[in-house]
């Protein structure tokens, strides 16, 4: 069926409601808009769904959500795990409560009990909830840090992590097999509740989640010691972090927590934010204004579904606030957790830290210092969650910490996804520890640079939209794959990893070995002097992403080297 036929089907079939048809009638004279909405189905990938909200097969709406849920239900029924039920959470975005309800009622109509949160909750709490309730799967309705016109739908499995191979491909196949919207099941909510197939959950899960978070505190006595003096500014970016982040900080003893009032309450339009992403410096404008007003030690921001944390810290030399990348804040927490667990005798046997392949190489140096095994995985926190599961099954390691460069980390195993709430708690403990030593968080970061090396990372992305853009992205990747550069600026390529082919090419000898990681369209160039570069297409946006890292003799030197490597990469892919 072509896109015009699909458009007319949505206009004429009684399955679709009047509001949907009215929205579609309004674009009857806009062929380009019709094509964009109907030229394909919104892709259900390894991370689930994500797209612009609206009517059409290529949009997030109640029908595409139901269709995806029917595919998931079919998979669960074939697996024979339907009696365990599915937990569902949602964020502050437009249509999030409605999409959560639609997913729950579709599951219920298939005889699968849905446990649905009574209000918005962080993504990591969903991971915790489904394991606590013994569910077979979980769903989070969120578009994370995307602009306000987006929403999304992520699927988790019984271990609490997002689904990985081969299950992800099997679920995708079931979703794609649902081609007839009229075959998708749903039921009345009151009927579902009366039949025990739809249960509202809430505070009982929150309380248990808080208990687990507190288990990660190492020095409660230090928090008590500086609680009157330390000042924290926090913004939840109008998302899910407001209640749990403030609750945990209050319960562990922090007294001076200032929340940005304009970004405190849920706002699906993110009125004061161009882009609700803690990676975006512009998003911190109001938080930094408040920080200067109250004299804050640190400034914290969580993204709308509260799985990512961004921070700024006060610098006594410049009398201003310094931004931290996800690598920096992750390493700050990791170094504190590893060192203080050893100092307090609370480090478990056979400890491990897990990082993704595009995360800072400072992690290698830190884990070596503390005698902690470091495991490297593909980009995506689901692979870190998978390592937790395997470590428990094998009994050969105890997970202590995991991180990825994109502002996500996890201490403890209460969740199997990045958790900005536990990160807020631990970062504030780090700040308290620094305060007790008479230094700032930025001072501590500088000490780490001086001890471990001036590691610095950056990203460069190319946005190429539409069908032609997809072809261009594929062409660039194939050129790099088939003719890998031997030199990038001043750096020599030592080895070339192709994770799609599971090969590692030694550029000097020509020897080929295996990566040992799952198949993925990712290319990695190991360079001399602790530098590296990695290329991969984004799974959620029309982008080709390049990640780079260097090691310098100072912050300025590392910055200069990073800029030079970026320019060398641009020249390489322009050839």
Q: Give residue 105's Cα distance to chain centre.
A: 27
- Decide: 99 and 111 in contact? Cβ < 8 Å: no
The candidate with the shortest Cα–Cα distance to 297, out of 284, 312, 318, 317, is: 312
The candidate with the shortest Cα–Cα distance to 257, out of 223, 280, 305, is: 223
The candidate with the shortest Cα–Cα distance to 393, out of 379, 413, 407, is: 413
Strands (E), 103-213: 114-117, 137-141, 150-157, 198-201
- From residue 140, give the alpha-carbon distance in Å to each of 73, 95, 104, 303, 382: 15, 13, 11, 14, 14
The candidate with the shortest Cα–Cα distance to 91, out of 29, 155, 140, is: 140
The candidate with the shortest Cα–Cα distance to 532, out of 571, 504, 493, is: 493
The candidate with the shortest Cα–Cα distance to 96, out of 305, 382, 308, is: 305
Where do we find the tokens 């982008």? Answer: 543
DSSP assigned state of 163: P
The string of DSSP letters for 186-237 reads ---HHHHHHTTSEEEE-HHHHHHHHHHHHTT-S-HHHHHHHTTT--EEEE-T
Q: Cα-Cα-Cα-Cα dihedral of 200, 16, 168, 101, to 10°?
A: -10
Catalytic positions, written as ranges: 144
The string of DSSP letters for 525-555 reads EEESTT-EEEEEE-SSSSEEEEEEEEEESSH
CA angle 341, 373, 449 (to 5 degrees): 70
């Amino acid at each position: 069926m072509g896109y015009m036929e699909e458009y007319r089907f949505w206009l004429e079939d009684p399955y679709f409601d009047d509001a949907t048809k009215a929205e579609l009638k309004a674009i009857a004279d806009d062929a380009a808009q019709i094509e964009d909405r109907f030229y394909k189905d919104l892709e259900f990938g390894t991370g689930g769904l994500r797209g612009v909200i609206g009517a059409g097969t290529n949009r997030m709406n109640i029908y595409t959500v139901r269709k995806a849920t029917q595919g998931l239900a079919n998979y669960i029924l074939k697996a024979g795990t339907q009696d365990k039920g599915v937990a569902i959470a949602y964020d502050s975005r437009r249509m999030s409560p409605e999409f959560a309800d639609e997913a729950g009622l579709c599951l219920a109509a298939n005889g699968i009990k849905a446990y649905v949160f009574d209000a918005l909750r962080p993504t990591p709490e969903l991971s915790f909830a489904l394991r606590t309730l013994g569910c077979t799967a979980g769903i989070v309705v969120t578009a994370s840090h995307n602009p306000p016109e987006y929403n999304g739908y992520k699927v988790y499995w019984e271990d609490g992590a997002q689904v990985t191979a081969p299950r992800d491909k099997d679920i995708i196949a079931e979703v794609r097999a649902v081609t007839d919207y009229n075959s998708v099941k749903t039921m009345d909510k009151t009927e579902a509740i009366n039949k025990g197939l739809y249960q509202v959950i809430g505070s009982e899960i929150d309380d248990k989640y808080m208990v687990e978070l507190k288990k990660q505190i190492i020095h409660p006595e230090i928090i008590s010691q500086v609680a009157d003096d330390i000042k924290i500014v926090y913004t939840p970016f109008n998302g899910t972090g407001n209640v749990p982040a403030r609750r945990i900080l209050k319960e562990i003893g922090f007294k001076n927590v200032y929340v940005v009032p304009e970004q405190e309450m849920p706002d699906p339009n993110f009125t004061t934010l161009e882009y609700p992403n803690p990676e975006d410096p512009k998003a911190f404008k109001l938080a930094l204004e408040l920080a200067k007003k109250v004299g804050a030690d640190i400034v914290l921001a969580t993204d709308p579904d509260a799985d990512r944390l961004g921070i700024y810290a006060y610098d006594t030399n410049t009398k201003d606030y310094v931004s931290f990348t996800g690598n920096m804040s992750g390493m700050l927490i990791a170094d504190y957790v590893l060192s203080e667990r050893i100092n307090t005798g609370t480090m478990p046997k056979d400890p491990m830290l897990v990082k993704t392949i595009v995360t800072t190489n400072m992690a290698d140096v830190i884990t070596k210092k503390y005698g902690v095994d470091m495991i490297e995985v593909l980009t995506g926190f689901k692979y870190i969650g998978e390592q937790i599961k395997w470590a428990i099954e094998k009994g050969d390691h105890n997970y202590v910490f995991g991180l990825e460069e994109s502002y996500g980390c996890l201490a403890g195993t209460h969740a199997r996804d990045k958790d900005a709430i536990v990160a807020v708690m631990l970062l504030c403990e780090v700040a308290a520890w620094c305060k007790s030593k008479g230094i700032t968080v930025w001072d501590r970061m500088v000490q780490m640079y001086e001890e471990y090396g001036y590691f610095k990372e950056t990203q460069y992305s190319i946005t190429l939209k539409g069908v032609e853009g997809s072809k261009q992205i594929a062409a660039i990747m194939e050129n790099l794959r088939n003719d890998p550069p031997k030199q990038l600026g001043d750096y020599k390529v030592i080895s070339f990893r192709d994770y799609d082919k599971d090969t590692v090419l030694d550029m000097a000898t020509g020897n080929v070995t295996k990566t040992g990681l799952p198949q993925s369209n990712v290319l990695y160039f190991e360079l001399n002097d602790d530098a590296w570069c990695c290329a991969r297409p984004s799974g959620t946006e029309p982008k080709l992403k390049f990640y780079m890292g260097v090691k310098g003799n100072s912050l300025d030197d590392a910055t200069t080297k990073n800029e030079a490597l970026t320019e060398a990469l641009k020249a390489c892919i322009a050839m």
